[in-house]
Structure formats: structure tokens, C-alpha cells
């Protein structure tokens, strides 16, 4: 199971999301990843992932998700990745398929 984390701001998220993703704004990433499981779930509405789970961060273009990736790595998360194309890439690819 891959956990997909959208680190954009709420106004950006309102414009569309990648299905199955969860929202944790970049400004909250360091605190969120440091929270105990129960507190994390209460605050963000989904189960906190383990440090070795496969987690992919995305934002609008890849810059902020890269920052989230770096924070997670520094906190000992080993299964994290950055979707470098992020929302712009996903949106362009899904529009072509329609």
C-alpha cells in the first residue's frame, strides 16, 4: 500500500486532488511526522504511516513535496519519495486520457 500525501495549501487542494491522497500541508509536516499515532489520526483524519512504509509526497509542481521529502528523511522515514511532477503532471496526464 502506498500512502499519497498532498502538501499543498487548502485552497489549492480545493481545486482538485489525486484520488486516495491525504492532505497534510507542508507547514505541518515536521510536527505531523513527530506526533504519536493517535494524535496524528485525530488531527489529519487518517492512520499514521510507519517509517518504512512507502509514502509519496506531492504538491503543485514538486518543490514543496521535495521539501516534505527532506523533512521526512531527516526524521528517519526510509520509504518516502517525491512525485517531482506533482499535481501539474498528474492533471496534464489525466486530461490527455479523457
Just list the catalytic residues: 59
Contact 75, 30 (CB under 8 A): yes
DSSP code per residue over 23-67:
E--GGGHHHHHHS-HHHHHHHHSSPPPPTTSEEEEE-SSSHHHHH
Residue 53, all three cell numbers:
512504509
Amino acid at each position: 500500500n502506498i500512502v499519497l500525501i498532498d502538501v499543498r495549501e487548502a485552497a489549492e487542494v480545493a481545486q482538485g486532488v489525486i484520488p486516495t491522497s491525504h492532505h497534510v500541508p507542508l507547514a505541518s509536516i515536521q510536527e505531523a511526522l513527530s506526533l504519536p499515532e493517535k494524535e496524528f489520526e485525530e488531527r489529519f483524519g487518517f492512520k499514521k504511516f510507519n517509517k518504512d512504509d512507502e509514502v509519496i509526497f506531492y504538491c503543485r509542481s514538486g518543490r514543496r513535496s521535495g521539501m516534505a521529502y527532506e523533512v521526512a528523511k531527516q526524521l528517519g522515514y526510509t520509504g518516502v519519495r517525491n512525485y517531482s511532477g506533482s499535481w501539474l503532471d498528474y492533471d496534464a496526464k489525466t486530461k490527455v486520457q479523457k
